[in-house]
């Protein structure tokens, strides 16, 4: 029921009593962590789930693990490395050849605070993987989404968006010093702006699009975190909390409150099914609720630049140029 959810809500609590039979779902980054838990939860409630991972071995392994937990689940393994747009194109072509419609796309995959590097097509790793890979995937799958009765796209953002607005003039750090956390922040802001612009463009066709902050969860996403980066993250969290007027100590103080994987995946699952979100297309979500402008981003707050519609439109146009494709979803 609306209004009873919060930071500790789990995926199974969100989906209690929900029947997803007949719905086709694609989840990126579904080999581990939040992606795998989301895929499991959807499959447990009757959805047909495409488990998308960056290698065939990882995808097949996740399918086997989910099938063991959900006997009789309708699952398929598929491959797309979001850091290599050629694999995204190959997956989309195969998917569209086999499926007329897509009810739900969960853009869950990502990298965080990694060393400076480039994707296969030469984009800065975090912007290229977290944003451009999902931008292209969503655009290519749009025909199937728009043929569905009530399609939704859920894109993972993060409290990390508060580190930086997106830089449309230098997305690849060609003219400035690289910072792992700033790059992550730019990519997560891009995720939220993309979700908002997708809602504006495709909303009239019946598509709902949301961005999500899952909370702090220990998953494979943190594989690049060094002690120095962790200390920097904690210090920024305290500063961010103080700026938002949070209490000096205790919950909400800026110290990270860690969630279980089941709790961390709950908001993206809620975004995928909650009927009460129909009037909030393009919203930023956290803790199974609407984000709050100006509140602590470490909890459920977000920065004002996530509402910059001019920036969102310009990001869409830049992304089309970078991936070499134009998407008319209106």
Known catalytic residues are 157, 184, 188
How many whole angstroms separate alpha carbon 115 and alpha carbon 224? 8
How many whole angstroms separate alpha carbon 206 and alpha carbon 197? 14
DSSP string, 83-141: T-HHHHHHHHHHHHHH-S--SEEEE-----SPPS-B-TTS-BHHIIIIIIHHHHHHHHH
- Least Cα distance to 115 among 35, 256, 228, 32 occurs for 228
Find the Cα–Cα–Cα–Cα dihedral 168, 174, 176, 178, rounded to 10°. Answer: 100
Q: Is the CB of residue 140 less than 8 Å from the CB of residue 196?
A: no
Q: Which residue has 């975190």 as its token pair? A: 225
């Amino acid at each position: 029921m609306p209004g009873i959810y919060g930071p500790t809500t789990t995926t199974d609590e969100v989906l209690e009593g929900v029947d997803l039979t007949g719905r086709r779902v694609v989840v990126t980054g579904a080999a581990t962590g939040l992606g795998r838990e989301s895929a499991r939860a959807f499959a447990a409630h009757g959805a047909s789930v495409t488990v998308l991972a960056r290698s065939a071995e990882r995808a097949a392994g996740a399918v086997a693990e989910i099938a063991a937990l959900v006997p009789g689940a309708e699952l398929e393994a598929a491959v797309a490395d979001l850091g290599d747009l050629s694999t995204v194109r190959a997956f989309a072509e195969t998917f569209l050849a086999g499926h007329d419609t897509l009810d739900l796309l969960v853009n869950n995959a990502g990298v965080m605070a990694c060393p400076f590097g480039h994707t296969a097509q030469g984009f800065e790793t975090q912007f290229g993987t977290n944003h451009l890979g999902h931008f292209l995937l969503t655009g290519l799958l749009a025909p199937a989404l728009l043929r569905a009765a009530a399609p939704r796209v859920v894109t993972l953002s993060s409290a990390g968006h508060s580190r930086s607005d997106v830089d449309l003039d230098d997305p690849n750090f060609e003219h400035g010093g690289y910072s792992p956390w700033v790059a992550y922040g730019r990519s997560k802001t891009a995720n939220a702006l993309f979700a908002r612009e997708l809602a504006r463009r495709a909303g009239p066709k019946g598509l709902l699009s949301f961005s999500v902050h899952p909370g702090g969860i220990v998953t494979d996403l943190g594989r690049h975190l060094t002690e120095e980066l962790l200390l920097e993250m904690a210090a920024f969290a305290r500063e961010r909390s103080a700026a938002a007027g949070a209490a000096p100590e205790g919950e909400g103080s800026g110290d990270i409150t860690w969630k279980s994987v089941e709790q961390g995946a709950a908001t993206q699952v809620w975004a995928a099914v909650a009927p009460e979100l129909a009037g909030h297309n393009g919203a930023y979500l956290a803790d199974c609720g609407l984000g709050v402008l100006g509140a602590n981003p470490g909890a459920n707050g977000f920065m004002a630049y996530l509402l910059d519609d001019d920036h969102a439109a310009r990001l869409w146009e830049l992304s089309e140029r970078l991936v070499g494709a134009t998407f008319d979803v209106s």
